[in-house]
């Protein structure tokens, strides 16, 4: 099926398949995004680390593949960090899983040119464990040593090292259910507390709900994580998996991004005829409100706004497939139970984002969104409890060709969802009799070719970073 589902302001690969974000590190003014990648096919295969960089988290520039599979296996998920900063001695490290059919072990690679090229350490692997599932190391600096949180089957483990090459086990942290398998853990300090993020394979649960991202807020003493909350869902939408955060982000920001798909149907989404499959969510800045994680779009995203079009409850004079909708809705005089928006409307299709005042839940519903039959688990609606304080419902909804992401009540809930409507389904409608829109603006987001970095005829040139297009394997 030929389409035009290519996102305008979300990251997607030039060609081939992607899944998890990897190696997220901010260095020398660039946000590095590595990712699980199969360049030659639109399905999963021997994994590479693809690579892109951005100055503003929204214009991405494709860089050469950073890590190729080798005789130890494919390059599974992992992280990156700054080892030493400043002048030509700067060093970045990537810590990843070498995965073969018989083993999963942790390895490292180093870069001395700002992340453009990578050399795998010749003594790899640096950490092994006698378990079939052992992957997705996230490394970070803590005090005067390195720590790693890594998925080890039914538990996450924390290790310490002074040199990134020798690691000692400090603690284990179990999955909430004995048969949930960890993937892609992340552990970081936020507003004086600690957050442990986890993705889980949940065997035995319904196919459309078999994977999910979660978090706990708690305390960390340098060796053990102690939760102070129950396990909480990271999103109420289906399409944010393996979400992890950037290391070394400026201004003490904690920015996360996830893979905007789900294993159940990821290999069947209708973009393969265009030669690519998979995209990332919007980058989100995290903060805490009480015992909850607050997620808002990273402020850089707003730089993509075109001229705003205002609307009210009677009329939305806008059509498009790449935009941000901002609404504050007074629901005190609502006479129906549901209030919200129909998006990508046309051809008998609509994706709904709405609040149900009886159920007191926020919903996103793609059952009538367009192409939904390519996998039996795709169609459906997704929801989470929500109390609307003061009868003001605040929605910020991002539409980008094949996705819809809803930020609710200033980041209290985040719901990302893939959709594949007909290309000309571009209307937006409001529903909720008696409700009044006190603020309504739609900002179109433009498809710009601007890359954010300087480009010359040979490839990329950026200060001391040069890619002349001559790298090949």
State the CB neighbour count (10 A cutoff) for residue 45.
15
Q: Residue 349 interacts with ligand FRU (CB under 6 A)?
A: no
Answer for the pair 428, 437: CB distance below 8 angstroms, yes or no. no
Structure tokens that stand for 23 in this block: 């190696």
Q: How far is CA 227 from CA 193, 219, 233, 362, in A?
A: 10, 6, 14, 27
Which residue among 90, 97, 281, 351 contacts ligand FRU (CB under 6 A)? 97
**Alpha helices, DSSP H only, in 316-471?**
none
Q: How far apart are CA 242 and CA 325, in angstroms?
A: 26
Minimum gap (Å) between residue 217 Cβ and ligand FRU: 23
Strands 403-408 and 392-400: antiparallel
3-class DSSP state for residue 443?
A: strand
Distance CA 87, CA 69 (A): 30
- Distance of alpha carbon 67 from alpha carbon 124, whole angstroms: 14
β-pairing verdict for 16-27 and 276-277: parallel
> In angstroms, rounded to a whole number, what is the distance separating the alpha carbons of residues 43 and 76?
15
The phi, psi pair for 107, rounded to 5°, reads -135, 170
> In the complex with ligand FRU, which residue's Cβ is closer, 12 or 19?
19
Identity of the residue, 9 or 76, whose beta carbon is nearer to ligand FRU in the bound complex: 76
- Minimum distance from residue 43 beta carbon to ligand FRU (Å): 12
The pair of structure tokens assigned to 47 is 């994994």
Nearer to ligand FRU, 183 or 240 (CB): 183
Binders of ligand FRU among residues 112 to 141 (CB under 6 A) are 135-136
- Closest approach, Cβ 330 to ligand FRU, in A, equals 41
> How many residues in the shown chain lie near ligand FRU by CB under 6 A?
13
Q: Cβ 136 to ligand FRU, closest distance in Å? A: 5
Q: How far is the CB of 278 from ligand FRU (least distance, A)?
A: 11
The interface with ligand FRU within residues 57-76 (CB under 6 A) comprises 76
Which of 356, 416, 363, 415 minimizes the C-alpha distance to 388?
Answer: 356
DSSP 180: P
Query: Of 184 and 329, which has the nearer Cβ to ligand FRU?
Result: 184
Q: Find the farthest-apart pair of alpha carbons in the chain and give their distance in angstroms, rounded.
A: 68
Asked if 20 is an active-site residue, the reply is yes
Residue 183 interacts with ligand FRU (CB under 6 A): yes or no:
yes
77 binds ligand FRU (CB under 6 A): yes
According to CB under 6 A, which one of 57, 242, 282, 442 is a site residue for ligand FRU? 242
Would you say 242 or 256 has its CB closer to ligand FRU? Answer: 242
In the set 80, 184, 316, 406, which binds ligand FRU (CB under 6 A)? 184
Nearer to ligand FRU, 152 or 397 (CB): 152
Nearer to ligand FRU by C-beta: 79 or 409? 79
CA distance 214 to 198: 5
Smallest separation (angstroms) from ligand FRU to the CB of 201 = 8
Q: How far is the CB of 228 from ligand FRU (least distance, A)?
A: 26
For ligand FRU, give the closer residue by CB, 97 or 235.
Answer: 97
106 is a site residue for ligand FRU (CB under 6 A): no
Residue 261 binds ligand FRU, judged by CB under 6 A: no
Q: Is 412 in the site for ligand FRU (CB under 6 A)?
A: no
The DSSP string of 189-232 is EETTEEEEEEEEE-TTS-GGGSEEEEEEEEEE-SS-EEESS--E
Q: Check residue 457 and give left, alpha or beta (phi > 0: left; psi -120 to 50: alpha).
A: alpha
Q: For 272, phi and psi rounded to 5 degrees?
A: -60, -35
Smallest distance, ligand FRU to C-beta of residue 107, A = 13
Told to check if 330 binds ligand FRU by CB under 6 A, we report: no
Q: What backbone torsions phi and psi does residue 46 show, to the nearest 5 degrees? A: -55, 125
For the segment 10-49, give every residue that binds ligand FRU (CB under 6 A): 19-20, 36, 47
Kindly name the residue from 20, 240, 285, 330 that is annotated as catalytic.
Answer: 20
Catalytic (active-site) positions? 20
Contact residues for ligand FRU, defined by CB under 6 A: 19-20, 36, 47, 76-77, 97, 135-136, 183-184, 241-242
């Amino acid at each position: 099926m030929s389409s035009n589902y290519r996102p305008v302001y979300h990251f997607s690969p030039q060609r081939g398949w992607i899944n998890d974000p990897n190696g997220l590190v901010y260095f020398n003014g660039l946000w590095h995004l590595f990712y699980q990648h199969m360049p030659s096919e639109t399905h999963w295969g021997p994994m590479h680390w693809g690579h892109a960089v951005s100055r503003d988290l929204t214009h991405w520039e494709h860089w050469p593949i950073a890590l190729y599979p080798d005789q130890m296996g494919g390059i599974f998920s992992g992280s990156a960090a700054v080892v030493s900063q400043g002048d030509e001695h700067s060093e970045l490290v990537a810590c990843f899983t070498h995965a073969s059919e018989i083993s999963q072990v942790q390895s490292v690679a180093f870069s001395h040119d700002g992340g453009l090229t990578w050399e795998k350490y010749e003594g790899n692997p640096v950490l092994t464990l006698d378990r079939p599932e052992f992957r997705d190391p996230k490394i970070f600096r803590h005090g005067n040593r390195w720590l790693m949180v890594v998925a080890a089957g039914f538990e996450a483990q924390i290790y310490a090292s002074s040199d990134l090459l020798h690691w000692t086990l400090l603690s284990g942290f179990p999955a909430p259910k004995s048969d949930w398998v960890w993937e892609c853990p992340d552990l970081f300090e936020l507003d004086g507390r600690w957050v442990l993020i986890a993705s889980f394979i949940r065997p035995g649960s319904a196919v459309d709900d078999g994977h999910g991202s979660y978090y706990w807020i708690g305390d960390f003493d340098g060796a053990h994580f102690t939760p102070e909350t129950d396990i909480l869902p990271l999103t109420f939408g289906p399409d944010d998996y393996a979400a992890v955060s950037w290391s070394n982000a400026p201004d003490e920001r904690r920015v996360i991004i996830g893979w905007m798909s789900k294993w159940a149907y990821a290999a069947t989404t209708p973009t393969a005829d265009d030669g690519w499959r998979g995209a990332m969510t919007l980058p989100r800045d995290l903060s805490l409100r009480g015992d909850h994680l607050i997620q808002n779009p990273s402020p850089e995203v707003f730089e993509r706004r075109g001229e705003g079009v205002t609307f009210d409850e009677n009329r939305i004079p806008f059509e498009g497939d790449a935009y941000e909708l901002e609404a504050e809705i007074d629901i005190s005089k609502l006479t129906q139970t549901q209030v919200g928006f129909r998006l990508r409307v046309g051809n008998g299709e609509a994706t709904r984002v709405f609040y149900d005042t009886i159920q007191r839940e926020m919903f996103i519903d793609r059952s009538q969104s367009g192409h939904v039959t390519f996998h039996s688990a795709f169609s459906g609606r997704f929801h989470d409890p929500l109390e609307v304080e003061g009868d003001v419902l605040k929605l910020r909804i991002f539409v980008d060709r094949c996705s819809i992401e809803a930020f609710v009540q200033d980041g209290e809930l985040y719901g990302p969802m893939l959709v594949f409507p007909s290309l000309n389904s571009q209307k937006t409608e409001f529903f909720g009799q008696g409700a009044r829109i006190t603020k309504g603006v739609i900002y179109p987001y433009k498809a710009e070719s601007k890359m954010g970095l300087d480009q010359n005829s040979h490839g990329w040139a950026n200060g001391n970073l040069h890619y002349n297009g001559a790298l090949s394997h």
